[in-house]
Amino acid sequence: MLRGNATKMLLVEDDPNDIELIQLALENYHFVNEMDIVEDGEQALQYLFGKGENEPRRELPRFILLDLKLPKINGIQVLEAIRSDPRTKKIVVVVMTSSAEDRDLQACYNLGVNSYIIKPFDFQQFIEIARQVGFYWMMLNQPPLI
């Protein structure tokens, strides 16, 4: 079983502007030493599980920030795969999405998401929320061993 990296985060986001804002929000803080970025659900699953029966060689992240509206495989399907695999089911997953739809919110919590955040439209609010989310889940929260 792979052990998660205490300062590693996976960002699953397809919007280059949101990626840049999240990087900007976290760049001056030292609670995320490594941020890997994938831009669609298929890449996220390959990153986490490898191809076929080959497990990935990298350490798993401590924290996943997941958008729902992704190309190829959507975020709910990615979350379902994460929660159904013993290697990844305990990783902290926070959904940060533009979707305020109740069915998305319900689906994510039914699958065991740790938190569901609707992306603010305001630039400063977006940066502050990304910073607070990163700080809380990387520094304050005490997750179980993966």
Q: Whose CA is closest to 146, among 60, 79, 84?
A: 60
The full set of domain ranges for the chain reads 5-140
pLDDT in tens, the chain (146 residues): 344 556 789 999 999 999 998 888 888 777 777 889 999 999 999 999 987 555 666 788 989 999 999 999 999 999 999 999 998 999 999 999 988 899 999 999 999 999 999 998 888 898 888 888 888 887 777 777 66
- What per-residue confidence (pLDDT) applies to 54? 56
Q: What is the CATH number of domain 5-140?
A: 3.40.50.2300
- What per-residue confidence (pLDDT) applies to 2? 42
- What per-residue confidence (pLDDT) applies to 1? 37
d(CA 25, CA 89): 27
What are the tokens at 61?
């992240």
| The Cα angle at residue 137 between residues 141 and 3, in degrees rounded to 5 | 80
Burial profile 46-72: b = 16 or more Cβ within 10 angstroms, e = fewer: ebbbeeeeeeeeeebbbbbbbbbebee
